[in-house]
Structure 1
Amino acid sequence: MSDPLKDKITTDLQKAKEEGQLRAERIREIVRDAVQASSSELKEGSSEIRTVVKNAVSIVIDNLKDKGGEIKEEITASLEGAIDAISRARRQAIAKSHQEVKQLQAQIDSDEKELQEQIDGVLAEVEKTEKERPSSRTQQAVQSAIDGLKDTEEVALMRKRYAQLQAQLAVLQANLSARYGERYEEVKKYLDDAKTWYEQAQPQAEATADQVKQKRAEFETKLGEAGTALAKKERQVKQLLRELWKSITDTDTDVSDTRR
């Protein structure tokens, strides 16, 4: 009896071998396509899907057992391909939800900006009116109250903290996306988001502590390395993303410490 999964993986592996393309990335693609075709009609999370994945990996091992040497990288690639296949539908749903969240966030940001503009307009009008009063004492009291309300230190810190958390979230999403097989465009989008939020979170004064400057430089270097590796589809991108995550969490702690 014919086994479609075995036939497809075996045929594609043999073709890749003949073409001199039997590398980890190609194995990953072969297993991903085969598992996706086999499990497309199965219910997510079912025992049948687990059987398909187990069989796919076994087929790869059987085809590579005569290769000689270490085949850990190939086995890892086959597992990644299988995970990519069975999680694709769920990732698409997550991506849709993420886009909806971004749209809501954009609307919230717009509403907050409009509210702040209204508040600033009201305060400006009060300030203008009170300047026309003959009593300088009243003018000073009103001006002092307005200055205190316009932009307190607590509000500024809260905004920077929010940007830090958004940058961390974007790096975390990039890690998860790379781990579970998202496309280049998805991971790059998260890295771009991380860069944008990170820049908003950084103190702009030239007198910034040397430790913070060093951590900022480290993060920017890791971000650049991860982006370059991603563009070249190099396998070490996952390691670089993990290092980027460690870098941004360390940076966040140091920056917060300087504000106390």
Structure 2
Amino acid sequence: MPNNIKEQIQTDLQQVKETGQLRTERIREIVKAAVSQVASEFKAGSTEIRTLVKDAVSAVIENLQDKGTEFQEDVTASIEGALEGVNNKRHMAIVETQAEVKRLQAQLDSEEEQLQQEVDGILVEIEETGKEKTADTKTVIESAVNNVKNSEEVALLKKRYAQLQAQLAIVRANLAARYGGRSEEVKDYLDEAKNWYEQARPQAEAVAIQVEQKRSQLENKLSEAGTTIAKKERQVKQTLRELLLATADLFKEKEPAEQQKDHVHK
């Protein structure tokens, strides 16, 4: 089949054209299936792989170049399908690795929770010892314990960690959608992003109106992305791209006043 991939793709395209069901998504599937089958015979990154991709895309161009305005979308779909077919095995390995990362993340979260519970227990015991002291000493101990409990550094670290995890999950959703991930895989990443985002979200009363509006927009985009998974491939990718940009805009830090002044002067 390696020498006949163009013929195979052209035959498949012609069959679909005759049924009147030739759509961008179908073109992508045809090219992906053909390339995936042949690519398994070659070593990753080899010259044969590159030739295979070029032949697959050329088959679509030669067969559909008379479609006019839809031609560019068809060529894009053929390129995406070819790349997905080539990287199918690698993507499956990535999925397995991500599953292991999730397992380790859950284990890490559990261990951190246990550590936090142990620390909280120690702080409670320290407070108990203060009850037998003088009023002033008791006040000092309670104040010291509260300072440890309400450490701004700890709160900020937890918030930033959750933000980064949310962004990372959205990045993975984008990569999965772009390089052959199943709809269930993309949705899992979006659910993961939503969970982390909720952990990073501060109380509404502590957030400026403008920031809260951006958060509301992000929530809407998360919901929108979840509901478009089963729709057109192009629409899903566009929604995920918008979600990625919205998240980056929401979580980015404001520049220090001095740096802003420097930009003004420049």
Q: Deviations over 1:206-232 (max 9, x none)?
A: 352110111011112222222222222
Partner of 2:167: 168
Equivalent runs, 1:92-241 vs 2, <5 Å: 92-133=92-133, 135-241=134-240
Deviation at 1:256, TM superposition (A): 10
The answer to which of 15-24 and 143-152 deviates more is 143-152
Q: CA RMSD, aligned part only?
A: 2.1
Counterpart check, 1:76 vs 2:76: yes
Deviation at 1:34, TM superposition (A): 0.6
Report the TM-score, using the length of structure 2 for normalisation.
0.89
Question: Does the Cα contact within 8 Å between 2:25 and 2:232 map onto a contact in 1?
Answer: no
Q: Distance in 2 between matches of 1:65 and 1:235?
A: 20
Deviation at 1:237, TM superposition (A): 1.6
Q: Distance in 2 between matches of 1:246 and 1:69?
A: 28
Secondary structure of 2:204's counterpart equals coil
In structure 2, give the amino acid aligned to 1:92: M
The answer to which of 165-174 and 6-15 deviates more is 6-15
Secondary structure of 1:231's counterpart equals coil
Q: Distance in 1 between matches of 2:39 and 2:214?
A: 45
Secondary structure of 1:182's counterpart equals coil
Runs (4 or more) in structure 1 with deviation over 3 Å come to 1-4, 65-70, 254-257
Q: Distance in 2 between matches of 1:75 and 1:127?
A: 69
Partner of 1:31: 31
In structure 2, give the amino acid aligned to 1:111: E
Q: Distance in 2 between matches of 1:98 and 1:255?
A: 32
How high is the sequence identity, in percent, across the aligned residues? 58
Unaligned 5+ segments in structure 1 are none
Q: Distance in 1 between matches of 2:250 and 2:125?
A: 41
Q: Distance in 1 between matches of 2:32 and 2:191?
A: 27
From the superposition, tell whether residues 14 and 183 of structure 1 become closer, same or farther in structure 2 (CA, over 3 Å): same
Q: Deviations over 1:176-231 (max 9, x none)?
A: 11111211011111111111111111111335211011101111222222222222
From the superposition, tell whether residues 67 and 252 of structure 1 become closer, same or farther in structure 2 (CA, over 3 Å): closer
The answer to which of 104-113 and 62-71 deviates more is 62-71
Q: Deviations over 1:146-183 (max 9, x none)?
A: 11112312211111111111111111111111111211
Partner of 1:42: 42
Q: Distance in 1 between matches of 2:66 and 2:205?
A: 62
Question: Does the Cα contact within 8 Å between 1:9 and 1:59 map onto a contact in 2?
Answer: yes
Question: Does the Cα contact within 8 Å between 1:211 and 1:254 map onto a contact in 2?
Answer: no
Unaligned 5+ segments in structure 2 are 257-266
Q: Deviations over 1:107-128 (max 9, x none)?
A: 1111111111111111111211
Question: Does the Cα contact within 8 Å between 2:91 and 2:180 map onto a contact in 1?
Answer: no
Partner of 2:262: none
Q: Distance in 1 between matches of 2:248 and 2:174?
A: 14
Q: Deviations over 1:16-51 (max 9, x none)?
A: 011111111111000001111111111111110111
Partner of 1:87: 87
In structure 2, give the amino acid aligned to 1:91: H
Deviation at 1:74, TM superposition (A): 0.9
Deviation at 1:67, TM superposition (A): 4.1
Secondary structure of 1:42's counterpart equals coil
Q: How many residues align?
A: 256
From the superposition, tell whether residues 52 and 226 of structure 1 become closer, same or farther in structure 2 (CA, over 3 Å): same
Q: Distance in 1 between matches of 2:140 and 2:56?
A: 76
